[in-house]
Structure 1
Amino acid sequence: MHNFQQFIQQGFQQVQQGFENGDIQNFLQQGVQQFQNLHQSDRDKRRYNVHINTWDDDSQNFSRAVHEKIREQNLWSRDVDSFYYEREGDSFTRSACNGNKKALFIGINYTGTQAELKGCINDVRNISELVCRRFGFQNCLYLTDEQSDPQMKPTYDNIIDAMKWLVEGAQPNDSLFFHYSGHGGTARDPTNEEVDSFNETILPLDYSKNGQILDDVIYDNLVKPLPKGCRLTAIFDSCHSGTVMDLPYTYQCDGQVEVIENDLRKAIFQKALSVVGSFIQGGQANIASALLGIFDGSINFSGNSQAQQQQVINKRKHDADVIQFSGCRDNQTSADAKINNVSTGAMSYAFITVMNQNENISYTQLLTQIRQIMKQKRFSQIPQLSSSHPMNMNEQFIM
């Protein structure tokens, strides 16, 4: 017994000496640094693994099959008013949009490359004209690949610096605006943080050298620094852009406006991956059959459950008033089109057209009419609205 007490005492003395000498702190610091390096290494791998405007067939089939099962289970809610009040959306602090106004416009045509687009710089000109004329934005920054100034080229570093400029000094009731027209991509997400197990990305002008900008990086630079009650309105006219800002709620309209909690979709995709094990070879029918195991009662699909509402807390929650419009779902491409003999992005064209036709418009009307115009122009992509808080879709759109 005496020997055991001596052993314990010696152990405490060694621990105490470790603290006094800094050995334990150094050991813990090394562990934290190794974890950070591992996380950074993983992020770098995703950053440089670029897939422009496409998924491989297995990934596409898997995503399509899961989305179809979500649709069959009626997990999208069409009662957007009840969704709003049940989640206490009226308690959220909105921006009055009567403070400082700043805007960032990015358009990349990738001129002279194999990835060349035609309408992105036109989109910047047209969207910025609308935003400045209609909503009074004057403090604006433009990044386009036609500019001769290297600092104004939409490179990886310049885009990140411009994002930081946009949110710097933001205050409650400010109104910030972000517009991106260019290529979008995807990267497999090993962290299980993404809704569909993929990172959505945007591609800077120098993506072949410096990689793509992951949605995690977009969130860290555009959303995370914002204070409570500050508005950021963003438009992404790019492929795979549905949840590119990692926001918790998504609204879409393909006939009727409906909403889903992205954490619920995330749970379904994670369960799907565990059921399937890996992307199944042999077509969508086999995948869909395997996915029947998702709906075995182990996931609570009742969007009205109080317990679930309390559990839906993750990194995407934010007190800022963030609203994102995207040209398509995560698993869709967004058209670089020619309309009335002018090259343009489908989302930018539809947004401008609807706003010019309506002096006052609600969020429901805006999303519905954007989709109607896209259908008229024979675009199959489904525009979406994602937000940091449940939306009162009957409220008037302001910036």
Structure 2
Amino acid sequence: MVSADVDFRRLVNRLPEGASFTIVSDSCHSGGLIEKEKEQIGAERRMTQERPHEPKPSKKAKSLTFDIIHSAIDTAAGILNDATNIGQKIFGIFGKDVSLKFHPHYVDGVMVLDPLEEDEGILLSGCKANETSYDVVLQNKAFGAFTNAVVNVINQNLGVGISNRDLVAEAANILKNKGFEQDPCLYCSDENTNTLFLGGFA
């Protein structure tokens, strides 16, 4: 069960020399998914132009209420009703495969990680940590709005490639101009900000 920022941080810390780890995340609250990765593009770093006369697409938020999540965990936990907190319940369900976030050795919400230096983790997030990531509805089918924007930008740059920074910035402009209330972000080292997304593509 890989679900927490510390899990992805551990993966990034274990990358062999010369390798990079790129995540495109279009889920709600995905900003900062790699713990302590440097934010290169966020809402406060970006300026976009509104296009008020452009038709707005149908959109809907992707979310589950806490009651639904809590009920699902209780059902999965079964006999773990005596667990005193949700972390114990989740550990009881997944055992040794549980996210580090809920591991018994993860004390008081803090885990000692390897020293943080410039690394090869690259996160393109559809929204900030406190935001919802929306779907775009096309022909009665829902797609992640950020994913759809990223694919459109990539298709426009086939054969030449595009940097991580420009990809997120252009995708953000598409979402803003279409009326989506989410702020895509880029988290990576200074060096990887201007490197080509996935090293370039044909």
TM normalised by structure 2 equals 0.56
Partner of 2:143: 344
Q: How far apart, CA to CA, are the structure 2 residues paired with 1:374 and 1:316? A: 36
Unaligned residue ranges in structure 1 (runs of 5+): 1-155, 161-212, 259-313
Please say if residues 247 and 316 of structure 1, whose CA atoms lie closer than 8 Å, have aligned partners that are also in contact: no
Q: Deviations over 1:247-277 (max 9, x none)?
A: 431122559559xxxxxxxxxxxxxxxxxxx
**Structure 2 counterparts to residues 197-346 of structure 1, below 5 A:** 213-220=3-10, 222-252=11-41, 254=43, 257=46, 315=114, 317-318=116-117, 320-346=119-145
Higher relative contact order (CA 8 A, sep 6+): 2
Please give the root-mean-square deviation of Cα atoms over the aligned residues, in Å: 2.6
- Matched letter for residue 235 of structure 1: V
Cα distance in 2 between the residues matched to 1:316 and 1:371 = 32
Deviation at 1:352, TM superposition (A): 0.8
Distance in structure 2 (CA, Å) of the matches to 1:366 and 1:251: 12
Cα deviation for residue 372 of structure 1 reads 1.1
Matches within 5 A, 1:150-165: 156=1, 160=2
Unaligned regions of 5+ residues in structure 2, if any? 48-112
Aligned length: 132
SS in 2 for 1:391: helix
In the alignment, the residues of structure 2 paired with residue 232 and residue 394 of structure 1 have an alpha-carbon distance, to the nearest angstrom, of 15
Matches within 5 A, 1:80-159: 156=1
CA distance in 2 between partners of 1:319 and 1:351 (Å): 25
How far residue 358 of structure 1 moved from its aligned partner, in angstroms, is 1.1
For residue 179 of structure 2, the aligned residue among 370, 378, 390 is 378
Determine if contact 1:242/1:327 at 8 Å carries over to the other structure.
yes
Pairwise CA distance, 1:368: 1.4
Partners of 1:330 and 1:219 lie apart in 2 by 16
Give, in angstroms, the shift of residue 217 of structure 1: 2.5
The structure in which a higher percent of residues are helix is: 1
Q: 1:257 to 1:393 in 2, by over 3 A?
A: farther
Identity %: 32
Residue of structure 2 equivalent to 1:390:
190
Q: CA deviation digits over 1:18-57, x for unaligned, max 9?
A: xxxxxxxxxxxxxxxxxxxxxxxxxxxxxxxxxxxxxxxx
Contact 1:253 1:371 in 2 (8 A): no
CA contact (8 A) 1:255 1:368 kept: no
Change (3 A) 1:357 1:395: same
Distance in 1 (CA, whole Å) between partners of 2:115 and 2:148 is 29
